[in-house]
Amino acid sequence: MNRLLIVDGHAYAYRAFHAIRVLRSPTGQPTNAIYGFVKMLEKMRAALRPTHLVVVWDGGLSAARMAALPDYKAQRPDMPDDLRPQFDEIRKYLAAAGLADFCGDGVEADDYIACLARSAAAADWRVVIASADKDFMQLVSDRIGLLNPNDKTGAVWTREQVQAKAGVEPEQVADWLALMGDAVDNIPGVAGVGPKTAAELLKQFGSVDILLARLNEVRSERLRLALSAAVDVLRRNLALVRLHDVPCEFVPEKLQPQTPDREKLAGLFAGWGFKGMVAALEEPCPERQAQLI
């Protein structure tokens, strides 16, 4: 069975950067995100043993989402100065390790990941998306699982975990987010509607469209008035939180790990001051080397 691991690149680079506060190369170059990313990817590969793998990077904000909501993701702070140069170094590592990655101008990683995941699932592959982004819960199915780094159990999330987290089915996650909003992406929801109320509404009505068609059945007058006043907001939110269809190239051969360039890896590790990784490359044990690359 082919298994594709899709890694949310920026999410893991940020996570590594904040997990390891200070680490620099012999020349003073910041390397904390590089080191953490390499170690986290090593751990995921050892645990999941994917036959195919790709790291997807954000290429900018969706023009359609920005047109619908100019303040979309506007509250996010600027990227830390010490993190910015480490992205190129991580991509150098991936190239030397024979691992695929993708970044498209104006293409949000979420949308490209969704396209790849759906394409692979349609080809009867197993897919694991590595990300803490709750938007990906809408993709979870019998073929697509979610590896949430915030879940210390290391379990790949299925429908059961999505139901436990959101109180709704994966197919209802976009409606759930549209109702309550998403502070992470600066998307305001309906006034007074939080995760629990949103889940209860969807249990009763099934979807936002059906809810809006049957507003008179909402028992709480306060809630009914709030929903009536937010009809346009809800329809806009659905367009924002649903993962968009974007062109993506699902070519299995390009997603299959290639033979690592050990000389390039050794040079990168030495330049970053990762002495343990250099030593591991020199060890004769193939299993140890495989874990590293």
The ranges assigned to domains in the chain are 3-165+244-292, 170-241
> Is residue 7 classed as helix, strand or coil in its secondary structure?
strand
**DSSP 8-state class, residue 245:** P
Residue 285 pLDDT: 56
Q: What is the CATH number of domain 170-241?
A: 1.10.150.20
Q: Do 108 and 59 meet the contact criterion of CB atoms below 8 Å apart?
A: yes
E strand or H helix that includes residue 13 = helix 9-19
CATH topology of domain 3-165+244-292: Rossmann fold (3.40.50)
Residue 51 pLDDT: 98
How far is Cα 118 from Cα 26, in angstroms, rounded to an integer?
Answer: 43
Q: Which pTM value belongs to this model? A: 0.93
Residue 228 pLDDT: 96
How far is Cα 173 from Cα 170, in angstroms, rounded to an integer?
Answer: 5
> What angle separates helix 159-166 from helix 173-180, to the nearest 10 degrees?
20
Q: How many helices (H) and strands (E) does the chain have?
A: 15, 8
223: its two tokens: 């809630």
| pLDDT tens, per residue, the chain with 293 residues | 899 999 999 999 999 999 998 999 999 999 999 999 999 999 999 999 999 999 999 999 999 999 999 999 998 888 999 999 999 999 999 999 999 999 999 999 999 999 999 999 999 999 999 999 999 999 999 999 999 999 999 999 999 999 999 999 999 999 999 999 999 999 999 999 999 999 999 999 999 999 999 999 999 999 999 999 999 999 999 999 999 989 998 999 999 999 999 999 999 999 999 999 999 998 765 554 444 44
C-alpha to C-alpha distances, 215 to 24, 219, 237, nearest whole angstrom:
58, 9, 18
Residue 291 pLDDT: 47
Residue 282 pLDDT: 85
Task: For the chain, report the end-to-end CA distance as a whole number of angstroms.
Answer: 22
* 282 contacts: CB under 8 Å, gap ≥ 6: none
